[in-house]
């Protein structure tokens, strides 16, 4: 049983932010900023490809509620959403989860680096995706 399933089962303590029939939101134990919250489905799904659409909709609705709650109650001006899909992308717990990371002026959090496509690269990507 994964650590998030243990949390859902009540076997491990967390600081609950929100809970309903299908989802659970709780504070991340290693936050980017204070209020950094994880939102998970209560049923175990490893990643985005595994979760049925109706279950994903419930998770996204909870993400929206918790994001608004953080803005309202903590006074943050915005937040970043993150979902690391599979280990290569940084997924440490193999249970689908979304990070809601409150942002504050001058918090030092940087977004990912950006680059330009090389000549013909975008066209090749489109060909592969549409074939």
Question: What's the token pair of residue 64?
Answer: 């929206």
* Residues 70-126 pLDDT 10s: 999 999 989 999 999 999 999 999 999 999 999 999 998 888 888 999 999 999 999
What is the reported pTM? 0.92
In this structure, the dihedral spanned by the alpha carbons of residues 36, 62, 89 and 92, taken in order and rounded to 10 degrees, is 60
Question: What's the token pair of residue 27?
Answer: 């504070």
Please say whether the beta carbons of 38 and 99 come within 8 A: yes
Tell me the H-state helices in 31-103.
Answer: 53-74
Question: Exactly one of 36, 95, 97, 99 is catalytic; which is it?
Answer: 97
Question: Residue 7: how many CA atoms within 13 Å on its side-chain side?
Answer: 25
Taking the alpha carbons of 32, 97, 84, 123 in that order, is the dihedral positive or negative?
Answer: negative
Domain 3-130 belongs to what architecture?
2-Layer Sandwich (3.30)
CA distance linking residue 83 with residue 76, whole number of Å:
20
CA distance linking residue 24 with residue 39, whole number of Å:
6
Position 109 scores a pLDDT of: 87
* Catalytic status, residue 36: no
List Cβ neighbours of 46 (8 Å cut-off, separation of 6 or more).
Answer: 94, 95, 96
């Amino acid at each position: 049983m994964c650590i998030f399933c243990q949390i859902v089962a009540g076997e491990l303590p967390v600081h609950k932010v929100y809970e309903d029939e299908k989802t659970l939101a709780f504070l991340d134990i290693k936050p980017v900023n204070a209020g950094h919250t994880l939102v998970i489905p209560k049923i175990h799904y490893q990643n985005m490809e595994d979760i049925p659409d109706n279950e994903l909709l419930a998770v996204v609705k909870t993400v929206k509620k918790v994001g608004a709650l953080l803005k309202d109650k903590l006074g943050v001006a915005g937040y970043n959403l993150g979902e690391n899909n599979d280990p290569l992308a940084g997924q440490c717990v193999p249970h689908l989860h979304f990070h809601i990371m409150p942002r504050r002026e001058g918090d030092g959090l940087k977004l990912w680096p950006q680059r330009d496509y090389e000549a013909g690269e975008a066209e090749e990507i489109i060909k592969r995706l549409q074939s």
